[in-house]
Amino acid sequence: MAVEWLRVMEVLFRDDICAHRDAMEFLQEIARNAWVEYDYSRRLEESLDVLKTEMQELSNRQTDIILELNAAEVVHGKKPKAEVNLWLENVEKITSAVTKTKEVYGEIGRDFSFPRVTLGKRVVKKIEEAVKLKEKGRFLEGLFADLLPESESMPTTKLVGRTTAERNLEQIWESLMDQEVRIIGVYGMGGVGKTTIMTHIFNKIQSSRIFGLAIWATVSNDFNIERLQNGIAREIGLDISYEDDEMRRSRKLFEALKRREKFVVILDDMWKSFPLEKVGIPEGNAYKIVLTTRSKNVCRGMKCQKKFEVEVLSREEAWELFKERLGADVVLSPEVKQIAKLVTEECGGLPLGIITVASAMREKDDVREWRNALEELKCSTMEIEGMDDQVFPILKFSYDRLKSERIQSCFLYCALYPEDYAFGDEELVKYWIAEGLIDNMGDWEKEQDKGHTILNGLTDVCMLVRKFDHSIVMHDLIRDLAIGITRKRPLFVVKAGMGIRGSIGVEEFTEEVEKISLMRNQIEMLSGEPNCPKLSTLLLRDNPLSGNISHEFFNRMNSLRVLHLSKAGIEYLPESVSNLENLCMLLLNRCERLREVPSLAKLKRLRFLNLLGTGIKEVPDGMECLVNLKEFQVSFAEGSTNRINVVGCNSLVLPDSIIKLNMGRCELSSLHCVSRMQHLHSCNIWGCSMKWLLAIGDNSTIIPSLPCIQYLNLMDLPNLRGLCEGVLMPGSFTCLRNLFVSSCKVLENVMSLELFQNLQCLDYINIEKCSEMEEVIKGGEEGDNNNNNNTIILLPNLRELRLRNLGKLKSFCKRVIICSLTQIYITGCLRLKKIPLSFGNSTLFVRGRIEGSKEWWDSLEWDDPNSKTLLLPLFHEEDEGRGMKRKAEQVEDIASTSQHQ
């Protein structure tokens, strides 16, 4: 600065007018720069507040993405895109830098100084980085790599009828290879095997690699353009669900598909024609379209250049299929065999009918049963409008053969969902339990077992289909059968996904109706006071309901057991809900505008309560009265900086009966009530402010804490110091199988050695992104009188260990752990000194990856040298590993520089 002022003074003493003008401009520039620097200092606190808000929103987005990634990896084996991993790394990097920035701020004063100016500039820069990261974190084209990679096939059953089916397949394939043919139609009656043939075509496309991409989209009877566009977009890793304009979605999809050189789109189960350009599918002979439909007219409407009818099976093919489904080892007596052939002929060559009837007659060897079955098939009729007289009596025969009315009711319940809807088996069993279709046995696990037994029975007889991802679907013909039955008795009203707009007529809410499904519509409001004394299930999910629901709407629904309102636009829940004393399931998840939930004190039968992603600010009154509650889930809406107001360990009172607890973004000091939960099986806590999961005082009970907990997930808990403040009673956590701890910034260790060595059921450990953690298991040092003198910990069930991005970790455990690991992953743990694992004389094949520098690997200490030999093939010295070390050193250098400015 002194040199600059000398230059100014020198110029001022010159006589040249221009020089004076230059000097004045130079002074003005200096003044402007000085003001800018002063402003950085003056507004530092304001900038820090802005940075705090931006980082909180960024952290919320990070948490949501990690939860989605973890769930998709465990359930579906999906992998994130490289850009998603890079984004998560950048979020970690900026989070670390902001933490250091806050530390520097604590060391400087409030008076103007150059350190304040420097810090002010850095804060503004970090705000800009956080805003950019938030925008990049939208991932408009999805989080995951292509759901159907070019080499991946679809699961399918083998072709039924060698002559008929293989001829159809060969003809369709020849048309695909014909450069002059763009659109191919495959038609035939329902259940004849069109979809099965096309899954084989799809797999052949994948394996041949003639086309760059094959896309499968199920259209269904309740077709709409938006859902079809979203389905195709997901297949190519494009997210257009946020677009509310059909033309913009079409344009984005068109551009994404056009970048592909060649592709095939298979549109399964079309019921009506529509313009392909309206969806966003480009024209050109390099782009092939194959559609399946029950109607030849649809093929004409879509201008198919080739049309193929899938015919029913020949008599010989039908008999071969029937015998196969009865069982390859089944030997029929001559008399039964003769009747069985006649039964097969009654199925009319329809594969779906043959499969269901054969499944119903499996293990039947009494000739009288076979004669009765034949008579029923001959005489059976179903007078249901719009249904095929030949097909449905065959399917009704299989329905009638279900073992009990209760199992039939479980089957019919599945018809409440839209066509081709895939639901999880756990979800379905919960609905059955809430509906009372499974007896209350007083034991949650037994009820679950009963539900899954019924579900397996329905899949065994082909009334439900289990897909490769373990989800459950109904064949559309089977669903039509169920809807046909429920149009009479029991009476269901099923208008799921029918495009209903505005309000719904009160004529649907009759005195006799037992179940109503209006999910996936555009219903804006529900008014009046319908009289529905028998109504037990009401599904309203995925409706705007921006006009809300009248307060008296539920007054005369005293039998209601299931109320599903997720993703509705309601701002409040009607007061009349408070009086639904038979309600067992209340689902309000992702009702982001919801602010008020009335008292739940009277809902003593409630078993499932989901408040995830709502806008409520405090848990509803009367929670302590829900003595039968098994599953409770709560969090604030995504993207909000507010949190549910639950302050102090005694202000959240929950019943002891809970089996599953999910809680996110809540202000809590601890979950004191959790220590009393003797039945809690699964606990997921994320984004909360608690210091301890459990805070056990001197006057606590003498019973063990969480003796039945199996799954514990603790994530993004910035203040967490440990699992427990206080001494746990013996028997605590002894059933724990799965432990996941992530992004707990101040956590220095996970648990004590005393607790760890008693976790004999432990199967999976994943500890990651805990920047202050120096040891996972605390204690065990030589001479430590507070610890067991045993030098060995035996964990016979431990199968998987993951330690990732733990920059300060020096020790996992100071005792030797004897286990039978089959997977181990250690990355970003460059200060770890010892891997205390012993596999004994085991010859296990261990998978995984251990990353780091060669120097780090060579310096590791081993209690069992055989372990080093076994794990050596998993060690990778890569640029990535060395890069992490350089990053850690750079962060330390930056922090050091900041503290000296």
Beta bridge partners of 525: 503
Q: How many residues does the chain have?
A: 901
Q: What SS3 state is found at 648?
A: coil
Q: What is the pTM of this model?
A: 0.69
d(CA 93, CA 55): 12
What local confidence, expressed as pLDDT, does residue 555 receive?
A: 95
No. of H helices and E strands in the chain?
24, 35
Pinpoint the alpha helices (H) of 315-366. Answer: 315-326, 334-346, 351-360
d(CA 588, CA 616): 11
Count of Cβ atoms closer than 10 Å to residue 662 Cβ:
19
d(CA 174, CA 178): 6
Per-residue pLDDT tens for 435-447? Answer: 999 988 888 889 9
The candidate with the shortest Cα–Cα distance to 137, out of 90, 96, 98, 93, is 90
Count of Cβ atoms closer than 10 Å to residue 866 Cβ:
14
Torsion of CA 684, 686, 688, 689, to 10 degrees: 100
Per-residue pLDDT tens for 197-251? Answer: 999 999 888 888 788 788 999 898 777 888 899 888 888 878 787 787 889 999 9
DSSP state of 571: S
CA distances from 209 to 215, 263, 616 (A): 13, 10, 52
Average pLDDT of span 581-586: 97
Contact between 762 and 786 under an 8 Å Cβ cutoff? The reply is: no
DSSP state of 410: H
d(CA 420, CA 216): 13
CA distances from 511 to 488, 530, 536, 567 (A): 14, 9, 12, 28
Question: Residue 27 corresponds to which amino acid?
Answer: L
Average pLDDT of span 495-509: 84
Average pLDDT of span 548-565: 95
Per-residue pLDDT tens for 1-22? Answer: 444 544 545 554 555 555 556 6
Task: Decide if pLDDT at 434 tops 50.
Answer: yes
* Lowest model confidence (mean pLDDT) among 80-94, 616-630, 801-815: 80-94
d(CA 781, CA 454): 53
Per-residue pLDDT tens for 156-207? Answer: 666 765 667 788 889 999 999 998 999 999 998 888 889 989 999 998 888 8
Task: Decide if pLDDT at 890 tops 50.
Answer: no
Residues 6+ apart with CB under 8 A from 473: 420, 421, 422, 423, 464, 465, 467
Percent of the chain with pLDDT over 70: 83
d(CA 57, CA 549): 31
d(CA 631, CA 407): 24
Percent of the chain with pLDDT over 90: 39
Question: Residue 139 corresponds to which amino acid?
Answer: F
What local confidence, expressed as pLDDT, does residue 5 receive?
A: 46
Strands 471-473 and 465-466: antiparallel
The candidate with the shortest Cα–Cα distance to 456, out of 448, 466, 447, is 466
Of 162 and 575, which is predicted with more confidence? 575
d(CA 30, CA 219): 68
What local confidence, expressed as pLDDT, does residue 148 receive?
A: 39
* Lowest model confidence (mean pLDDT) among 287-296, 369-378, 810-819, 823-832: 369-378
The sign of the dihedral angle between the CA atoms of 444, 450, 454, 457 is positive
Count of Cβ atoms closer than 10 Å to residue 273 Cβ:
17
Q: Supply 105's token pair.
A: 């701020």
The candidate with the shortest Cα–Cα distance to 749, out of 699, 809, 800, is 809
d(CA 277, CA 297): 20
* Lowest model confidence (mean pLDDT) among 13-17, 372-376, 657-661, 711-715: 13-17
Question: Residue 604 corresponds to which amino acid?
Answer: K
Ramachandran class of 704: left when φ > 0, alpha when ψ lies in -120 to 50, beta otherwise: beta
If pLDDT is split at 50, 70 and 90, which confidence band does 780 have?
Answer: confident
The candidate with the shortest Cα–Cα distance to 260, out of 226, 233, 236, 238, is 236
With residue 78 as reference, give the H or E element that holds it.
Answer: none
Strands 738-742 and 711-715: parallel
If pLDDT is split at 50, 70 and 90, which confidence band does 643 have?
Answer: very low
3-state secondary structure 266-292: EEEEECCCCCHHHHCCCCCCCEEEEEE
Terminal Cα-to-Cα distance of the chain (whole angstroms): 18
> Which of 273-282, 376-385, 500-509 has maximum average pLDDT?
273-282
Is there a cis peptide before residue 490, judged by omega within 30 degrees of 0? Answer: yes
Ramachandran class of 77: left when φ > 0, alpha when ψ lies in -120 to 50, beta otherwise: left
d(CA 77, CA 327): 33
Beta bridge partners of 539: 517, 564
Q: What angle do CA 500, 504, 509 make, to 5 degrees?
A: 130
d(CA 835, CA 817): 9
> Which of 89-93, 255-259, 424-428 has maximum average pLDDT?
424-428
Q: What is the overall mean pLDDT for the chain?
A: 83
* Lowest model confidence (mean pLDDT) among 138-152, 289-303, 790-804, 816-830: 138-152
CA distances from 825 to 135, 848, 849 (A): 31, 5, 5
If pLDDT is split at 50, 70 and 90, which confidence band does 384 have?
Answer: very low
Task: Decide if pLDDT at 41 tops 80.
Answer: no
Q: Supply 570's token pair.
A: 């309601």
Task: Decide if pLDDT at 699 tops 60.
Answer: no
Contact between 710 and 740 under an 8 Å Cβ cutoff? The reply is: no
CA distances from 526 to 416, 549, 554, 568, 899 (A): 19, 5, 10, 12, 61
Task: Decide if pLDDT at 552 tops 60.
Answer: yes
What local confidence, expressed as pLDDT, does residue 635 receive?
A: 80
